[in-house]
Amino acid sequence: MDILTLNCGSSSLKYQLYRWDSKEVLAKGLVERVTLGGSFIKHYAKGKGNTTIEHDCPNHKVAIKLVMETLLDPEVGAIKSEDEIKAVGHRVVHGGEKFAKSVIITDEALNTFKELADLAPLHNPPNIMGIEAAREIMPDVPHCAVMDTAWHQTMPKHAFIYGLPYEWYEKHGVRRYGFHGTSFLYVAKRAAVLLGQDPFKTNLICLHIGNGASANAIRNGISVDTSMGLTPLEGLVMGTRAGDHDGAIINFMMEKENLTAKEVENMLNKNSGVLGITGQYTDRRDIEIAAEKGDERSQLAIDIEAYRLRKYIGAYSAVLNRVDAIVFTAGVGERGPILREAVLTGMEELGIKLDNRKNHISMTRDGETLFSTEDSRVKIFAIPTDEELVMTEDTYALLQGNYDIHTNFTYSFQSRDYVNLERAANLEEKYKEKPQLREVIAPIP
């Protein structure tokens, strides 16, 4: 059985084709600049390598057709017939309070996603466009939705209710929802394996750090607090998002710069974060290079981002009382030793002891690494996330009728014998170039 997963952003479409029976990725890729002009697809197929094809995609329907054409292409594709795809899983960023787990998409569910669009105006509309386009192109297979917010539906009320008029919550759903849930689910389950612990007796602080970033406090295997809020704007300093800030700034800047509320909101989402601080960079690698050359604002961006992360680790340590591990994931979390060093240095009193030599070796998306000292009470891991696998497994289980909320459901990657075949093969190749990587690969008890 082949399962296709789709993640539609406002101007992009990420996809993966997974063969369930052999547990392998057949193909994956990304269509960029959808709706913007100059669009193209970057495609990988097992045994056929990488391909880039320029193709205008004025909308997501055209982009999905391009994905299907590429998957079926005899030269670079992965399947011979569309009929080989038995289901499609879709990422949906915001499920509100309506969904605590993944669902098969019905017209009713799709209408609910549309109703929630006000809560995620930057994310749900492209998710919905992708779903509608894919259902039109592939009407005869089940389509499933995997919500980023579902993982956080276990948060207690005192963690998700704001100090605002309670009627705002009752009438408009104003509360903390949290995001990156699919990623947190994967790395939390894998961290429990690496610790040799029951996942529901494990306390973690997980840090998903990419262009978007959020922190998650996990007590006894379930989410109890997270840094993002009603929208993905709150919390950590991110690539282009401000994170935590004084809400009065919006009105202040409207008056000072004669801006509308929407214009200020756009600045907070798209022109703030490390981009706003440096004035030119979102890629942390560019920032680190500039800082090393003496650029003060780039160094300031590193210091601010690290400081905000430290504050959340401290706060969540107090929330959890006992922390078994700190987990870094996503692009920067997995491959950002300079930021990790800035975040974790000097936390010995919290039981967090960084082995900085191992930290700087730990730069890979193909292996789970451990870089705390041997006597550190709190383990420090970098665990490459795999949101596509979670989406695939949820979709398969929904088709089989045995899917349930994660506290009543076991994923394949919760087994100590689980192996990601593609990553394992890549890691063997990387050992040839960087043999010291073997020192930091986390052992499985």
Domains of the chain, CATH where assigned: 2-147 (3.30.420.40), 196-383+435-439 (3.30.420.40)
- Write down the mean pLDDT value for the chain: 94
Res 142: pLDDT: 95
The larger pLDDT score, comparing residue 157 to residue 421, is at 157
Confidence of residue 88 (pLDDT cuts 50, 70, 90): very high
What pairing do the DSSP bridges indicate for beta strands 379-382 and 325-329?
parallel
Structure tokens at 432: 């040839």
Res 199: pLDDT: 96
Sign of CA dihedral 279, 283, 288, 293: negative
Res 193: pLDDT: 98
Res 124: pLDDT: 80
Res 158: pLDDT: 98
Res 303: pLDDT: 97
Backbone angles phi, psi at 371, to 5 degrees: -140, 35
Indicate whether 123 pLDDT > 80: no
Indicate whether 244 pLDDT > 80: yes
Indicate whether 3 pLDDT > 80: yes
Indicate whether 119 pLDDT > 80: no
For the stretch 185-231, pLDDT in tens is: 999 999 999 999 999 999 999 999 998 999 999 999 999 999 999 99
Asked if 98 contacts 112 with a C-beta cutoff of 8 angstroms, the reply is: yes
Res 127: pLDDT: 86
Indicate whether 120 pLDDT > 80: no
| Residue at 368: amino acid letter | E
Backbone angles phi, psi at 30, to 5 degrees: -150, 130
pTM higher than 0.85, yes or no?
A: yes
Res 78: pLDDT: 94
Q: Report the range of poorest mean pLDDT among 129-133, 160-164, 171-175, 438-442.
A: 129-133
| Residue at 270: amino acid letter | K
Upper half-sphere CA count for residue 284 (Cβ side, 13 Å): 25
Query: What does the alpha-carbon distance between residue 62 and residue 291 come to, in Å, rounded to a whole number?
Result: 41
Interacting residues of 192 by C-beta distance below 8 A, sequence separation 6+ = 198, 199, 202, 221, 414
Confidence of residue 34 (pLDDT cuts 50, 70, 90): confident
Catalytic residue numbers, as ranges:
148
